[in-house]
Chains A and B, each alone.
With several copies, the nearest count.
Chain A
């Protein structure tokens, strides 16, 4: 293990996107990267299953995509920067994504951020 790799698994509540995640998530991330294009976002909307087929998503990735479950997408190898493009299809902003991941309502999540500013 290279020195820069030490301790990566020890930060609670997150996954460092290193080679291990990259190997798992390539198909999913490639699909999400394709959502930079309006045409591709529409193709996904039209036929979600066919679109996932095209990128050979794993069963775990398909499940997470179907459920719009960000934590599951992350654990299936998704990278947050590409997943943001997937979330964009449903008009989800980063607060809504944050709320979903932390199990809060959007208002609770926002209130938490405001509290952090008053530390």
Chain B
């Protein structure tokens, strides 16, 4: 049976992608940021996941307003990156795991989530940058992936509570997959930031720190909020925190925080990363 070894959430700011593309990881501005991922690499080496189920929001690469799904599940053998229009270099494709994708699709549909399935899906920076951060270099193509998107472009968006429940359904789906696999669940985006309007540049550090705290042991404090509460508190693009809620929903009730880091600003954004481990007595058994 598949086991979820834990969850990771990380920001996916495009500027991180260009820093990687230009090899700036050791420049004074960037070094502390990239160093914060070293404990994540160590954790990943310890838990050795076979698959990453990666929840993110598409920023207008794969989806347009003609067909805008609330939740979409990728079901392809390969996921290609594409030109997003503002200069980030296109990276090579990532291997998928269509059998697991279809199992997740079947299972969450049985749980009454009305997903869109995608047998082709271009993955944007919100997928590729977290992959590059967690598995620098070749490593990010040695792990198989299931990309899952949450709509943050066109309102109505799903509520934080619905996102969390979707995560719970994904968790049940993964853990009922027959193959012996170690799965890491990822959420990407956030924390507080706003790109559009006179409110551009909005950041809310106290709210972010509250979220980083509550996501560990009191997630209902956040799922109680409405989408609009999130916009108010975290900025228009701060709603990306919903991908963190999906990730968190996929974990068991109790988790251990293994690592977290918070840094403001990276580009316009409060950047953060967190590693949560499922409290599994079973983890040792599949070691």
Task: Convert B173-214 into 0s and 1s, putting 1 for each residue whose CB lies closer than 8 angstroms to a CB of A.
Answer: 100101000000000000000111111110111100000000
The answer, yes or no, to whether A87 is at the interface (CB within 8 Å) is yes
The answer, yes or no, to whether A84 is at the interface (CB within 8 Å) is yes
Distance in angstroms from B242 CB to nearest chain A CB is 13
The answer, yes or no, to whether A8 is at the interface (CB within 8 Å) is yes
Measured in the bound complex, the distance between the Cα atoms of B60 and A79 in whole Å is 10
Chain B contacts for A112, CB-based, 8 A: 201
**Given known contacts A81-B60, A116-B265, is B85 in contact with A35 (CB within 8 Å)?**
yes
Measured in the bound complex, the distance between the Cα atoms of B47 and A74 in whole Å is 42
The answer, yes or no, to whether A14 is at the interface (CB within 8 Å) is yes
Measured in the bound complex, the distance between the Cα atoms of B65 and A33 in whole Å is 9
* Contact present for A113 and B153 (CB under 8 Å): no
* Contact present for B153 and A81 (CB under 8 Å): yes
Chain B contacts for A94, CB-based, 8 A: 14, 195, 267-268
- The interface-forming segment of B33-41, B106-114, B247-255 is B106-114
* Contact present for A88 and B267 (CB under 8 Å): no
* A-side interface residues, number (CB < 8 Å): 58
* Contact present for A23 and B199 (CB under 8 Å): no
Residue from A6, A11, A36, A89 in contact with B82 in the complex, judged by beta carbons closer than 8 Å: A36
**Given known contacts A98-B268, A102-B200, is B102 in contact with A16 (CB within 8 Å)?**
no
* Contact size range, B: 35 or more
Measured in the bound complex, the distance between the Cα atoms of B203 and A114 in whole Å is 10
* Contact present for B87 and A17 (CB under 8 Å): no
| Majority DSSP secondary structure for residues of B touching A | loop
Chain B contacts for A87, CB-based, 8 A: 86
* Contact present for A14 and B176 (CB under 8 Å): no
Chain B contacts for A102, CB-based, 8 A: 198, 200-201
Measured in the bound complex, the distance between the Cα atoms of B74 and A81 in whole Å is 21
* Contact present for A30 and B64 (CB under 8 Å): yes
**Given known contacts A4-B227, A33-B60, A82-B60, is B154 in contact with A22 (CB within 8 Å)?**
yes
Which of A5, A97, A98 is most buried by chain B, counting CB atoms within 10 A of its CB? A98
The answer, yes or no, to whether B218 is at the interface (CB within 8 Å) is no
**Given known contacts A81-B60, A113-B201, A119-B205, is B195 in contact with A98 (CB within 8 Å)?**
yes
Seen from chain B, the residues whose Cβ lies within 8 Å of a Cβ on chain A are 14-15, 59-61, 64-65, 75, 77, 82-87, 98-99, 101-103, 105-107, 109-110, 119, 153-156, 159, 173, 176, 178, 194-201, 203-206, 226-228, 231-232, 236, 263-265, 267-268, 270
